[in-house]
Amino acid sequence: MTTRRYEKIAETITRSPSRNSAKDRLTGFWEIFDRDDDVLLIINADPDALASAMAVKRLLSYRVKNVTIGYPNEIRRLNNIAMVDRLKIPIERLHTLKVKEYDKRVLLDSQPSHLPCFEKIDFDIIIDHHPVTNGWDAKFIDIRPEYGAVSSIMVEYLRAANIKFSVNLATALFYGIKVDTQNFEKSAQLADGICFRYLFNIANRNLVRKIELTELRRSELKYFKIALNEVRVSKGRAYVHLGRVSTPDILVIIADFFNHVDKFDWVIVSGIHGEKLVVIFRCDGYRKNAGKLAQRTFSEYGSAGGHKEAARAEVPLKNLPLRENQEFTTNFLIRLGTKHMP
């Protein structure tokens, strides 16, 4: 799809609420489907995407023959595993499904250019809140980069359809908005707040808290010991290299932990997972920009970027002059940090 054509679609879909009320969008969405359709909802499984898939499945109840939710990524985070288990979300690995045999395919909380496996699929519907990309097309597109979560968009659809929210569905959408807006500390719209408030008395907030607290495996406590022993501090910058880790998620947890320590202006936590060095950046985001630092430091070696307060880099080991040695890697990160930090 040409950039010009996409801009026309984007203007129609995302910037003209008077011509695209929630009921108008819902009608356009429903018009894509037929009674005998087998529908595949595809997500990169995280809380917002999982909740949105539950919502679309509910919207299509009694309107199509069958709805399947497929996802390509391995779910490793305990929070996400707990969400799927406790809310009984029926999901299947994408590689086990015959994608081309479905009558309609829907992509939620993503765009085809976000993952190589998505680029190979022809989608009928795409609903997302990330910055727009090009090189693809669909019969129905609803992309709203100004929204904090696709879950908010789904609440609007469900309310326009006069569908009563089950506790599980409300809980999933409530948690999806909460996670993707980072408790409204990230960019969000009034619409996100209205949807969140609508769900407040329907959702099981104690269950949300239980999901949020399900974060660490006992086997991962050892990484805290390593981090506390190995942390190096220089001019308000905390550097921690954990060596090989079972999951990159532990790097995020430890980076967030150190980011609460007084007089740590910058936190850089790294580890090796598979054949990649993963580096997590944290700061207060006030006069600092973690995303820009990640790009300046690692973009020449691999993928890097993020937001002002949080960022990430993933670099193939073969692109770096590293040895799997704690002190060597830490010193390498300190040299890079010192070179690129303001």
pTM: 0.77
Amino acid at position 107, single letter:
L
Give the model's pLDDT for residue 52: 98
- Which tokens go with 294? 């990640």
Dihedrals phi, psi of 263, to nearest 5 degrees: 70, 10
- pLDDT at residue 37, rounded to an integer: 98
d(CA 106, CA 123): 6
> Helices 47-59 and 150-160 sit at what angle, rounded to 10 degrees?
20
Are the C-beta atoms of residues 35 and 65 closer than 8 Å to each other?
A: yes
pLDDT score recorded for residue 307: 79
Q: Give residue 93's pLDDT.
A: 97
The per-residue pLDDT for 19 is 53
Predicted confidence at residue 301, as pLDDT, reads 85
Rounded Cα distance, 96 and 101, in Å = 12
Phi, psi for 232 (deg, rounded to 5) = -115, 130
- Parallel, antiparallel, or unpaired for β 237-244 and 232-234? antiparallel
> What does the pLDDT read at residue 97?
97
pLDDT of residue 297: 84
Q: Which residues in 161-189 are b (16+ Cβ under 10 Å) and which e? A: eeeebeebbbbbbbbbbbbbbeeeeeebb
> What is residue 115's predicted lDDT score, i.e. its pLDDT?
87
Return the number of other C-beta atoms located less than 10 Å from residue 106's C-beta.
Answer: 27
The torsion region of residue 327 among left (phi > 0), alpha (psi -120 to 50) and beta comes to alpha
Question: Which pLDDT score, from 0 to 100, does residue 114 have?
Answer: 86
Question: Hey, what are 260's tokens?
Answer: 């609460």
Pair 126, 114: CB distance under 8 Å:
no
Mean pLDDT per 10-residue run, the chain (342 residues)? 43 46 94 97 96 98 97 91 97 96 97 91 95 91 95 98 97 97 85 97 97 89 94 90 90 94 93 91 86 86 84 87 60 64 60
Domains annotated on the chain, with CATH:
3-213 (3.90.1640.10), 221-340 (3.10.310.40)
How high is the pLDDT of residue 30? Answer: 97
CB 85: neighbour CB atoms within 10 A? 11
**pLDDT of 81:** 95
- Contact (Cβ atoms closer than 8 angstroms) between residue 154 and residue 180: no
